[in-house]
Each structure stands twice: as C-alpha cells, then as structure tokens.
Amino acid sequence: MKLFIIATIALFLYIAIDLIFNQEMWDANTSLTLYLQQNQFPGEKDMFLVFSYSLFLLPSIAGIAFLVLDNKLGALLYGLMILFSAASNSFLKNLYHQARPYFIVQEIEPYECNKEFGKPSGHAMSSSAMCFLLPCILFPAIWKDQPNYKYPLYIRVIFIFIITFWTFMTGFSRVFMGVHSFGQIILGWVYQAYISIIYMMYIHDRIMTYLTECLQMGHKGISIRVIQIIGLIAFSWTCVAIIFLELNRYVFISPAEATLWMTAVYEKCENQTTLYTIDSPLVLQNICFSMSLYIWIMLSFVIGIKLSKGIYLENQFRYHYKSLSLWQKTLRIFILIILVALLIPFFLIEFNSVYAQAFGQIVPVSILGGLIITVVYSKILYYLKISVPGDFLQIIDNEQSAPDGMSFELQAKSS
C-alpha cells in the first residue's frame, strides 16, 4: 500500500507539472522538431521509422509465446495488458484533447500521418508497456532469480539496456516525425509506468493465482460474480468514454478548430485525398473513442474461459509438445493465424458514424477475439487431436490420460 500511495502522489505531481509548463514544453518542442527535421543526416528518417513501426511487430511476441512457451496464461495476460494500454491511451487522449504538433505548426512536416489527438503519446505508452512488461510477465528471471532459473548478470544488463534504449528511441522518433511533442511523450511514459507498477505489484500475481486455481480439475471455474464485475467495469468505461466523446464534439473542440487541424492533415499528408470534418469517424475524438473500447476484450476473455470448460496444467506444455510431429506443430500455428485473420473483414468495412464504427467494429472484434483465443482455438485443437497437456484451456474427457499416466477422472478423484 505504501508503494501505491507513493506512485499515485508521483503521478499527480507530474500531471500538475505538465499542466503548469504545458506551453513552455510545447514551444521548446517546436524548436527541437524543426531543428531535427531541418538538419537530418542521411538515413535518419528511415532509422526513426524503423523504431516507430516496430511498435506493430512487438505484440507478435505474445502470440509466439502463447504458441511455444509453457507460460501460456502469462502470454495472454501480456497481450491483454498491451490492449489495455492502447485502450487507456485513447481514453486519456479524449480527456486531454490536445492537437499534434503538425496540426498546428505550419513548418513541421509529418513523416507519419496519425489523425487522432496527441496527448499522451500512444507509442510512448505501448512501447514501454511491451518492453518492460515482457520480462516482468514472460521472463521474470530477468529482474529477479526464480526457483528454477537464473540469468547471468550480463544477460540481464544487456536485456534491460535494449528495452530501455528501444523505448527511448521509439518516443524520440515520434518527436522527429512531427506527430508528438516531447511533453506528450513523457506524459505517456509516466502514465504507463504507473499502470505497469500498480499492475505488477498488486494485480498480476493475484490474477495468475486465481485463474490457475479456477482451471484445475474439479474446479467450478471463474465465478459469475467476477464476470459481472468485469462487465460492470467495461460498461462504466464505455459510458465515461461516451461523455468525453460528446464533450469534445460539442464543447471543447469547435468545428472551425477541427477544420484547421484536418486541413493540415489534408495538405501535408501524402496520399490524403479526403478533407475530414469533426464528425468523420477516423479522426480526433471519434477514433480515440472507438479505440478505447478495446477494453471489452477483458470481458470476452473471462466469459470465454467460463464457456470453454477447459483446464490449464501449468508447466506441462514443453514436455508434451515434443511428442507432436512437425506437421502437427505447423497445423497448430496455421489454425491460430486463420482464426485471427477472420477478424480482418471487420476492419475493411467503412463506417460513416463514430458509434457505428465503435459498436460495429471495435467491440465485435474485441469480443470475438477473446472468444477465439479461449473457446474456438482450444476446441479445434481438441477435435483435431493435436492438443497436449499444458495447452491453455485444454479440453479433456474421461478417456484421456493425465501427465502421470492416470486418467484425468482418477487423478481428480485421488486429489
């Protein structure tokens, strides 16, 4: 509790500093970005683009870990935390409703054309979440010796240096490309640091323990009360998000101001053929609102666990995975890829209303994504007879053998 109080005080202290010195940081950033863009060395733009675009590759680590590592529950929670970071960032952007530098400063050129609000930086939040939660959740021995594993000191130093350097360069790349001020970057790092600290110190272990216990043989699974609480959180989050959406549309952001910002997008961005308005679902408060609704995957995740009626034998997977043939291992990968690809058509639909996009695209994708991982994938592995002990939500029957040679039914009775 002491750490929670200290972290919360530090967060609010920096929020106050950010508000007080907002204009000074904005002016300093304008000078910095103009200097960087006007004094580029050969290949600098391409280098920063690599750091910026790498953000879209890092989530694949969660998928790879889910497919090949024992800690499948940890891999899924890591992926859910990345989505929570994205949803939180979009929620906060509508709270701050601050423009991006290239929206306002005529001389700043955008090397990447993001069209939503800029504060706090989504790249800053997501990159720091991905980099620092990766060792915390999937490779905890990087930070602290584990009972069954210990990394050499030089491995720890190299790993920590890489994730720190990558996080910094990802944030700095956004300043160079004119899409964020360094004030927006730092605020993103501060918010994500707070979320990550609170989650790892007070929430993660409890979730892991609770879900692991719920997924043992003979357990009744996740309680309805837990599902109701998470559903209430998702519903309340959506209601507050709607309030900020409407406030930005009709109170905080005027159509004239939005027109000036979207004119900058239209004139500066390559391949931009549409002059957006304040009501366009792909810009400003509208896209921020839609993205904030990825929070619904949390609800579909726990509902899917309840519906699957599977079990999770932690630390069993690696041993039994070796018994599969190369074809079976490859098939497991392709099945997951195909299932995830089924969500792509939702992103190909064009919506004319922000509410249609939010509830016709983001919410369905979130709900279906959670159910695919928890229900559909495990059932397909079961029916194709390529599931093994240690799979997340492995479906069993009375005839299957337990890892120690007993039937699952006998093992449950003996326990």
**What secondary structure, in 3-state letters, does 56-112 show?**
HCCCHHHHHHHHHCCCHHHHHHHHHHHHHHHHHHHHHHHHHCCCCHHHHCCCCCCCC
Do the Cβ atoms of 199 and 81 come closer than 8 Å? yes
Rounded (5°) CA angle 366-274-265: 85
DSSP percent split of the chain into helix, strand, coil, nearest 5: 70, 0, 25
User: E strand or H helix at 296, and its extent?
Assistant: helix 296-308
List 407's β-bridge partners, or say none. 401
pLDDT confidence of residue 402: 40
Alpha-carbon span 395 to 374, nearest angstrom:
11
Q: What are the two backbone dihedrals, phi and then psi, of residue 394, each rounded to the nearest 5 degrees? A: -60, 130
Tens of each residue's pLDDT in the chain, 415 residues: 788 999 999 999 999 999 999 999 999 999 999 999 999 999 999 999 999 888 877 778 888 889 988 889 999 999 999 999 999 999 999 999 999 999 999 999 999 899 999 999 999 999 999 888 888 888 887 877 777 677 788 888 898 899 899 999 999 999 999 999 999 999 999 999 999 999 999 999 999 999 999 999 888 889 999 999 999 999 999 999 999 999 999 999 999 999 999 999 999 998 888 899 999 999 999 999 999 999 999 999 999 999 998 999 888 898 899 999 999 999 999 999 999 999 999 999 989 999 999 999 999 999 999 999 999 999 999 999 999 999 999 988 754 444 433 344 334 333 3
Q: What's the Cα-to-Cα distance from 331 to each of 2, 67, 349, 372, rounded to whole Å?
A: 49, 11, 30, 16
Do the Cβ atoms of 182 and 25 come closer than 8 Å? yes
Sorted by sequence, the CB contacts under 8 Å of residue 123 that are 6+ apart come out as 52, 55, 170, 171, 173, 174, 180, 185, 188
Running DSSP on this structure, what letter comes out for residue 394?
B
State the maximum Cα–Cα separation within the chain, in Å, rounded to a whole number.
Answer: 74
Q: If DSSP codes are grouped into helix, strand and coil, which group holds residue 117?
A: coil
Query: In angstroms, how far is CA 137 from the centroid of its own chain?
Result: 14
Count CA atoms closer than 13 A to 276's CA, side-chain side. 25
pLDDT confidence of residue 404: 38
pLDDT confidence of residue 398: 55
Alpha-carbon span 373 to 382, nearest angstrom:
14
Six-digit token pair at 262? 């979207």
Six-digit token pair at 196? 């990550």
Sorted by sequence, the CB contacts under 8 Å of residue 77 that are 6+ apart come out as 137, 204, 207, 208
pLDDT confidence of residue 406: 35
pLDDT confidence of residue 83: 93
